[in-house]
A and B are shown apart, each in its own frame.
Chain A
Amino acid sequence: MTARILAQGIAKQFPGVQALDAVSLAVEPGEIHALLGENGAGKSTLGKIIAGVYSADAGQVFIDGAAVGAIDEVEAGRLGIGIVHQEGSLVGQLSIAENVFAGRQPTGRFGRIDRRAMRERTRALLADLGVTLDPDLKVAQLPPAQAQVVEIAKALSRDLRALILDEPTAALTLNETERLFEVCRTLAARGVAIIYVSHRLAEIFALCHGVTVLKDGRVTGVRRVAETSQDELIRLMVGREVHFARTTGARSFGEIRLEARGIAAAPFVRDASFAVRAGEIVCLAGLVGAGRSETCEAIFGARRLAAGEVLVRGRRVRFGGPWDAMAAGLGMAPEDRKDAGLFLSMDVAANVCATVLDKVSSSGRISSTKADALAGRFIRELRIATPSARHLVGHLSGGNQQKVLLAKWLAMEPDVLIVDEPTRGVDVGARSEIYRILRDLASRGLALLVVSSDLPEVLTLADRIVVMADGCTVGELDGATADEEQVLRLATRHTRVDALPVAA
């Protein structure tokens, strides 16, 4: 059988970076093939070259044995290559049907758009994917998983031979992920070749047949999923064995620094209670949508508290805004570092100093010497890989951006630090460093509240695990003895847990 997708000797250079170097890849019809690698390994670039979004500097892509030159969106569609982008390509204000047929709407006489045909065909495509959605709904109203399905339907609206999925589960809950897997399996059964770009190992074992591992733009291994192991894949990804040891319960905890008593913040938080002690890492676990981030925002004064009370060092507080929370010694590194955490167009020093502008000024005047010194300290302490404190944060890798975000909050020397998803979009190496930093902070007496959707991460970090579901805290587990199943059982309460894929 000839490979449906064959890429040979692909090279691609971006200014200053060799993104891909002599990369080859073959995917059979009906195969789900994973493209695995750390952030910046070149996975997305390869996917985009195959889909014709980028053109390669060298090498050749073949679809069913036919050489494909430099192609654009339209040409890719004609060839039956679809791509579901990481960032999404949907227009929120338009309906599902219009998005699915963007630029290729079925037309009647005089070029009038045949809305009925468009609706019907959209409905059929969605039904094919096992989803019932009104094609007239606006995409902005859909939850992320359904938007993702619309993306796939858009790719499917052409006669699809190859589909590239770029980190499709980043925004999905476990149930939604399982749904997406079903769709992938259905497509594969019809002979579509699927390239699945991801760095989540568990998903690859749950879904894929073959896997190609990339590191720094080169292929480091091609394996059959059935014949490999997580350890081997991690070794191929990072070039070394990585073990995340669990926190040992050796640390002693101090007084209660932060306590939430029955807090509610409409519409996502209904009844959350927990406490964090000095020197303790408490993880808020739960499914996406359980109201964990919103709970943190409500504590931090960024969301209005409808009921319940927050106590800092045993004293009841009422925050009018994040500035009040900061004055009380709280810090919060939010989940979405690009949108809510960092100033990407500013340099490292400015970002680090954003929370402590008064600390780097004397009598109201900003001192760039002090700012540089403070930034320099954190660049050293957190090992932020940046050419200088003057480098734009937007140009750093995800892991280093995350460290800048942490530095920004450590600069204010908080008593309690809330960290929402500390390692989202961060590669394995930086991940273990961030764990080291967080543990180190706790051992120095900081009270840490960590929100994480990544179960192994929760188990690795937590001294205590507080599980949330549907806006309520539903249980607590000891971090040293809990296992994934216990957490999931609490998080899903009455939902079925057996078939769930476990995020790695």
Chain B
Amino acid sequence: MSNLALEPAAPSFRSRAGTLPRRTLLRLANSRALMLFVLVAALIAAMSAFYPNNFPTRYNIAAVLLNAAQNAILVTGMMLLMIAGGFDLSIGSILALAGVWAGVAVGWWGWPAEAGLLIGIAVGGLAGLVNGLIVTRLGINALIATLATLTIYRGLTYLTAGTGVTPIGDAFKAYGQSVFLGVQTPFWVMLAVVTVGAWLLANTRFFRQYYFIGGNARAAKLSGIRVERLTLIGFVIMGLLAGLAGVLGASRLNSAVVSAGINVELSVITATVLGGASLKGGEGTVVGGVLGVLFIALVQNAMIINGIGIFWQNIIVGLVLLLGVSLDRFKHTHRG
């Protein structure tokens, strides 16, 4: 990880005054990614020790990774938007819309599978472009704009194919169901997206500009950074990634489901914030966001293995989020 503008400055003289445990806690709180990594590792170790027959099996691990794939792809785009001080609530609907268009193209019109994948991703990109135009050209704030398109895109999904498309086709399903090294394709696609995304965001001049926008949009504009254009591009990237997640999901199930991705925006934003983003913008890393997804997936998996009901799972995930963010408060009040 490069450290320009990304890591908080070397602990200031204030934090040095603390006692040893507090200093350790501060260092952990200062790097959310590191904290999450420790938590994920601890959770894996504990689960492996207590449930050697259920947890560390190839089947279970593959299932956890596959389930995390969709959200990790989405979190990459969401992290970019949140670093710039925005976010997108419509991703669940974009995901369903993209899946349905891919399904319609391949299942109904008989297009080749690859064309279906591309059209799905393109639909996602287009939906993202519309979001971006509403935010940057009409000047409507991202919360309201994407809240509106959340329902609009979902409506379009029902209009396109009211009952969904099942099955889509064997050539199409191969893209989501083929197995490599014991895990299905969506995981490997996710790994590629996340790796490239993390590298770009940490290292390139182009993406580094998003940190400046989130840090102070007005100063960024006066520094010659094209805030509006970059914001628009951020929404398009988010849309493309949601489209990608949508077609992968449809391909994995061999079915375009109109209700796919409902509420996914909330769990993705949860993971993004847990991974170090703030609503004010200017901070966060893709690695942090992905670890956030992984952590939530592991917590849910652990609770399933423990036989804890779905209602409790929701409560626990909420508490984990609050805990993560209160560490932030601790960090800020003790750094001044």
Interface residues in chain A, defined as those with a beta carbon under 8 Å from any beta carbon in chain B:
14-16, 300, 302, 321-323, 325-326, 332, 334, 339-347, 349-350, 353-355, 357-358, 361, 364-366, 368, 371, 387-388, 390-392, 395, 408
- Besides A354-B219, A368-B2, A371-B4, 18 more A-B contacts (Cβ < 8 Å) are A15-B17, A323-B224, A323-B225, A334-B219, A334-B222, A339-B216, A343-B215, A345-B282, A346-B5, A349-B5, A350-B4, A353-B4, A354-B220, A354-B223, A355-B223, A357-B209, A366-B204, A366-B205
Whether, in the assembled complex, B315 has its beta carbon less than 8 Å from a beta carbon of chain A, the answer is: no
Compute how far the CA of A14 lies from the CA of B335 in the bound complex, rounded to whole angstroms.
Answer: 12
Q: A13 to nearest B CB, angstroms? A: 11
Q: What is the CA–CA distance of A354 and B225 in the complex, to the nearest angstrom? A: 8
Q: A16-B17, A368-B2 are in contact. Are A346 and B282 (CB under 8 A)?
A: yes
CB pairs A–B below 8 angstroms (27 shown): A16-B13, A16-B17, A323-B224, A323-B225, A325-B224, A339-B218, A342-B216, A343-B5, A343-B212, A343-B215, A343-B282, A344-B215, A344-B216, A345-B283, A346-B211, A350-B4, A350-B212, A353-B4, A354-B225, A357-B209, A364-B205, A366-B2, A366-B203, A391-B9, A391-B10, A392-B12, A395-B12
Which B residues are CB-close (under 8 A) to A368? 2-4
Residues A350 and B5 in contact in the complex (CB < 8 Å), given A364-B205, A365-B203, A395-B12: yes
Q: What CA separation (Å) do A365 and B204 show in the bound complex?
A: 4
Selected contact of A366 from candidates B4, B8, B282, CB within 8 Å: B4
> Does chain A have a CB within 8 A of B58?
no
Which residues of B are found within 8 Å of A16, using beta-carbon distances?
Answer: 13-14, 17
Assess A365 versus B205: contact at CB under 8 Å? Given A323-B226, A388-B9, A388-B10.
yes
Which of A15, A387, A388, A408 is packed against the most chain B CB atoms within 10 Å?
A15
Contact string against A for B residues 263-306, beta-carbon threshold 8 Å, 1 for contact and 0 otherwise:
00000000000000000001100000000000000000000000
- Contacting pair B212 A354 (CB below 8 A): yes
The answer to whether B224 and A322 touch across the interface, beta carbons within 8 angstroms, is: yes
Contacts of A332 in B (CB 8 A): 222
B331 is an interface residue with CB less than 8 A from chain A: no
Q: How far is the CB of A57 from chain B (nearest CB, A)?
A: 16
A346 CA to B6 CA, complexed, in Å: 8
Is B182 part of the contact surface with A, judged by Cβ < 8 Å?
Answer: no
| Chain A proximity of B208: nearest CB distance (Å) | 6
* B9→A392 contact, CB < 8 A: yes
Q: Mark B211-255, 1 if CB is under 8 A from A, else 0.
A: 110011011111111100000000000000000000000000000
Closest to A14 in B: B336
**By the criterion CB–CB under 8 Å, are B221 and A321 in contact?**
yes
Q: Give CA–CA (A318, B17) in the complex, Å.
A: 54
B226 cross-chain contacts in A, Cβ below 8 A: 321, 323
Contact A341 B282 (CB under 8 A): no
List chain A residues, Cβ under 8 A from B224: 321-323, 325-326, 355
Interface size class of B (residues with CB under 8 A): 20 to 34
| Chain B residues with CB under 8 A of A358 | 205
Contacts of B283 in A (CB 8 A): 345
B1-41 near A? 1/0 per residue, CB < 8 Å:
01111001110111001000000000000000000000000
With both chains docked as a complex, state the minimum distance between the C-beta of A391 and any C-beta of chain B, in angstroms: 5
Question: Which A residues are in CB contact (< 8 Å) with B5?
Answer: 343, 346-347, 349-350
**How close is A256's CB to chain B, nearest CB, in angstroms?**
24
* Contact indicator A15/B223 (Cβ below 8 Å): no
CB closest chain-B residue, reference A322: B224
How far apart sit A370 and B275, CA to CA, in the bound complex (Å)?
A: 28
Per the bound structure, the CA–CA distance linking A300 and B226 in Å amounts to 14
**B126 vs chain A, min Cβ distance (A):** 26
Q: Are B219 and A341 in contact (CB under 8 A)?
A: yes
Q: Taking CB as reference atom, which chain A residue is nearest B17?
A: A15
Query: Contact: A341 with B222, CB < 8 Å?
Result: yes
Question: How far apart are B160's CB and chain A's nearest CB, in angstroms?
Answer: 38
With A and B bound together, what is the CA distance between A354 and B214 in angstroms? 13
User: For the complex, what is the distance from the CA of A302 to the CA of B5, rounded to whole Å?
Assistant: 25
Tell me the minimal C-beta distance from A421 to chain B in angstroms: 14
- A residues near B225, Cβ cutoff 8 Å: 323, 354
Instruction: Write the chain B residue with the least CB distance to A346.
Output: B5
B residues less than 8 Å from A355 (CB atoms): 223-224
Q: Report the bound CA distance from A346 to B216 in whole Å.
A: 10
Q: Complex Cα distance A274/B196, Å?
A: 50
Output the least CB separation between A410 and chain B (Å): 13
Q: With a CB–CB cut-off of 8 A, which chain B residues contact A366?
A: 2, 4, 203-205, 208
Chain A residues, CB < 8 A from B336: 14-15, 395
Tell me the smallest distance from the CB of A351 to a CB of chain B, in Å: 9
Interface: B311 (CB within 8 A): no
Q: Are A322 and B221 in contact, CB atoms less than 8 angstroms apart?
A: yes
A357-B208 CB under 8 A given contacts A349-B4, A392-B8, A392-B9: yes
A15 partner residues in chain B, CB cutoff 8 A: 14, 17, 336
Interface residues of B in 186-219 (CB under 8 A from A): 203-206, 208-209, 211-212, 215-216, 218-219
Q: Which residue of B lies closest to A349 (CB)?
A: B4
In the complex with contacts A354-B212, A391-B12, A342-B222 CB distance below 8 A:
no
Is A347 in contact with B223, judged by CB distance below 8 angstroms? no
Q: Which chain A positions have C-beta within 8 A of B218?
A: 339-340
Smallest distance from the beta carbon of B331 to chain A beta carbons, Å? 12
CA distance A14 to B223 in the complex (A): 34
* Nearest B residue to A339, CB-CB: B218
Which residue of chain B is the closest to A388 with respect to CB atoms? Answer: B10
A336 to chain B, nearest CB (A): 9
Q: How far is the CB of B324 from chain A (nearest CB, A)?
A: 19
Checking A340, A345, A357, A364 against B222 with a beta-carbon cut-off of 8 angstroms, the contacting residue is: A340
Residues of B within 8 A of A326 (CB): 224
Bound together, the chains give a CA A364 to CA B226 distance in angstroms of 17
A358 to chain B, nearest CB (A): 6
Interface residues of B in 133-187 (CB under 8 A from A): none
How close is B108's CB to chain A, nearest CB, in angstroms? 42
A347 and B9 form a contact (CB under 8 A): yes
Q: Which residues of B lie under 8 Å from residue A14 when comparing CB positions?
A: 336
CB of B47 to closest CB in A, whole Å: 37
Residue of A nearest to B209 (CB): A357
In the complex, what's the smallest C-beta–C-beta distance from B3 to chain A, in angstroms? 6
Task: Tell me the bound Cα distance from A365 to B208 in angstroms.
Answer: 9
Query: A302 is contacted by which of B3, B14, B222 (Cβ under 8 Å)?
Result: B222
A390 to B11, CA, bound (A): 9
Query: Cβ of A323: which chain B residues have Cβ within 8 Å of it?
Result: 224-226
Closest residue on chain A to residue B206 by CB atoms:
A364
Complex CA distance for A371 and B8, rounded to whole angstroms: 16
Q: Are A343 and B209 in contact (CB under 8 A)?
A: no
Taking CB atoms, residues of chain A closer than 8 Å to B223 are 322, 354-355, 408
Enumerate chain A residues within 8 angstroms of B9, measured Cβ to Cβ: 347, 388, 390-392
